Amino acid sequence: MKFFKEFREFAVKGNVIDLAVGVIIGGAFGKIVTSLVNDIIMPLLTFITKRGELSFENLFIALDGKRYETLTAAQEAGASTFNYGLFLTNVLDFLIIAFVIFLFIKQINRFKKKPEPAPATTKECMYCRTVIHKEAVRCPNCTSELR
């Protein structure tokens, strides 16, 4: 019974609940970013790069020494392939997703409330420039009376 009580206390702690909410929202945000990249940005890049003529998917090396027109043809023939084009596609996708997330976070941070500066607790002696408490009436360094 003690084990279950400890587990329940752990599971309902604020940090665990916050983490769970963060994971759920992160998953939903990931879907939004993935859709933005796959459905909006990548089609634009495909259009810009000569209407899809630039495709990394068919960049591969057949390890059996034969020549194949497409990766699909090589895989259907049962050839082992070194798929560096798919790797480049994944790297490009990662860079685009990372850049889009950077832009999202940059825009979200614009709307965050800026913390107010802490009120000053010190002031400077006008005679010797020593930093002293703001309510001091005499400087401890030069013993001048302050206004």
User: 41: which DSSP letter?
Assistant: I
Q: Tell me which residue has tokens 């665990």.
A: 16
From the CB of residue 90, how many other CB atoms can be counted at a distance below 10 Å?
12
DSSP 117: P
Task: Say if CB 33 and CB 104 are below 8 A apart.
Answer: yes
pLDDT in tens, the chain (147 residues): 888 888 877 777 767 777 888 889 888 888 887 888 778 877 777 777 665 555 677 888 888 888 888 888 888 898 888 888 888 888 887 888 788 888 888 888 888 888 888 888 899 998 899 998 988 888 888 888 887
The beta strands (E) that lie in the chain are given as 61-62, 81-82, 122-124, 131-133
Regarding pTM above 0.75, the answer is no
